[in-house]
Amino acid sequence: MQIIHSAKDMHSLSKLLRVSDKSIGFVPTMGALHEGHLSLVRRSKEENEITVVSIFVNPAQFGPNEDFEKYPRHREKDLAMLSSVEVDTVFMPEREEMCGKDETTSVDIGALGNILCGVARPGHFNGVATIVAKLFNIVSPDNAYFGQKDFQQCVIIKKMVTDLKCGVNVIMCPTVREADGLAMSSRNVYLTEPERKASAALYKALCHGREFILSKRPSAPSAVQDEIEKILKSEPLLNPEYIEMLKPENLEPTGKIELPVVICLAARIGKARLIDNILVKEEPSLPDDCAL
C-alpha cells in the first residue's frame, strides 16, 4: 500500500495511471474509518483496477463552532484498516497544501446547499464540494464512492459533477449499520452509553415511517413526520432537528407523497449531531436499497 502525502506526487501518479489506462476508483474520507468506509473500498476494488483512498479532515466544511479540532483522528488505525482491505494508494495531504491560507476560490453549489443540514451548517456543503473538486482534480478517478448516510452530500456531489463536467461517475453505496440499526459514523464516538442506546431510535423511526407510507399511503408529508416524531420523542435524549420527505433525485420537497421518496432526518444528542435517511420505493428490494 502506497502512502502519498503531496498533491503533486498524487497528481503524477494519477497521470501515470491514466497513461497505463488503469481505471481508478476513489473513496474520499476524513479518516476515523469504520465498516461503512471499508464497504466503499470493497465496492471500489470490485469495480476498478486501482483504488485510491484519501484521508483529509477538511477545515472548509466545519463551521466556526463545530468539531474540527476534536474530530477523531486515528492515523495508524486507519492505515491498518486500509491495508487489511488491500487499498492500492492512500492520499494523506497536509492542510496547508489542500486549504492554503491564500486560497480564495471555492465551488458554490447553490440552493441545494441551503436545505436540510445546510440550514444548521451554513457553508458546509460548499466546503465539501470545493474539497471534492480539488480531490477529483488531483486523483482524476473514473468512479468515486460515497455512503448513502450522507444522502444530501451524495446528491450535491452528483450535481457538481454534472454541472462542472467533472467526468467522474459518482456511486452512492448503502449505509452500513450497527446491529441495532444506528448508521455507522465517525461521530458516534461522541455518544455516551445512554445516548448510544437512544440513538437507535433514528433508524427505528425511519423504518416505521417507510412502513407507514407503504401501508397507509398517506398523501400529506406531515402525517408521516408526526409518526416519525412520535418515535424520536420517545427518547428524551434526542432533539430532532428536521424530518423531511424529498424527491431522491434532486431533494425537492414533495407537496404530496409520491414514490420514490427519501425520508431524511437529523437530531442532536449530547455533543453529537446525527443524520440518517431511508428510501421509500414501491418495491423495496432491500431494507436500505439506495439505487436511485
Looking at beta carbons only, is 166 or 231 nearer to a copy of itself? 166
In whole angstroms, give the CA distance from residue 17 to residue 241: 44
Q: Which of residues 190-209 bind a copy of itself (CB under 8 A)?
A: none
63 binds a copy of itself per the rule CB under 8 A = no
What minimum distance in Å lies between the beta carbon of 112 and a copy of itself? 7
Choice from 50, 90, 133, 173 touching a copy of itself (CB under 8 A) = 133
Radius of gyration of the chain (CA): 19
What minimum distance in Å lies between the beta carbon of 134 and a copy of itself? 5
Choice from 159, 177, 196, 273 touching a copy of itself (CB under 8 A) = 159
Q: Which stretch binds a copy of itself (CB under 8 A): 59-67, 78-86, 164-172, 199-207?
A: 164-172
164 binds a copy of itself per the rule CB under 8 A = yes
Closest by alpha carbon to 245, among 151, 104, 180? 151
Contact indicator for 148, 173 with CB cutoff of 8 Å: yes
In whole angstroms, give the CA distance from residue 258 to residue 20: 47
Contact indicator for 8, 93 with CB cutoff of 8 Å: no
Choice from 11, 187, 197, 247 touching a copy of itself (CB under 8 A) = 11
One-letter amino acid for residue 141 of the chain:
P
In whole angstroms, give the CA distance from residue 62 to residue 127: 8
Choice from 85, 129, 232, 264 touching a copy of itself (CB under 8 A) = 129
Closest by alpha carbon to 185, among 127, 267, 110? 267
109 binds a copy of itself per the rule CB under 8 A = yes
Catalytic-labelled residue, pool 11, 37, 124, 208: 37
In whole angstroms, give the CA distance from residue 68 to residue 58: 8
Whether 11 is a known active-site residue: answer no
Choice from 19, 70, 236, 282 touching a copy of itself (CB under 8 A) = 19
153 binds a copy of itself per the rule CB under 8 A = no
Contact indicator for 274, 187 with CB cutoff of 8 Å: yes
Task: Give the 3-state DSSP-derived string for 203-259, with helices as H, strands as E and coil as C.
Answer: HHHHHHHHHHHHHHCCCCHHHHHHHHHHHHHCCCCCEEEEEEEECCCCCCECCCCCC
Size of residue set near a copy of itself by CB under 8 A: 32
111 binds a copy of itself per the rule CB under 8 A = yes
Looking at beta carbons only, is 157 or 262 nearer to a copy of itself? 157
Closest by alpha carbon to 98, among 215, 198, 10, 230? 10
Choice from 35, 163, 180, 252 touching a copy of itself (CB under 8 A) = 163
107 binds a copy of itself per the rule CB under 8 A = yes
104 binds a copy of itself per the rule CB under 8 A = yes
155 binds a copy of itself per the rule CB under 8 A = no
Buried b (16+ CB within 10 A) or exposed e, 248-281: beebeebeebeebbbbbbbbebbebbbbbbbbbb
Q: Which stretch binds a copy of itself (CB under 8 A): 12-20, 221-229, 240-248, 254-262?
A: 12-20
Which triple of cell numbers denotes residue 161? 459533477
Residues at the interface with a copy of itself (CB under 8 A): 7, 11, 15, 18-19, 21, 100, 103-112, 129-130, 133-134, 137-138, 140, 159-160, 162-167
Which residues does the annotation mark as catalytic?
37
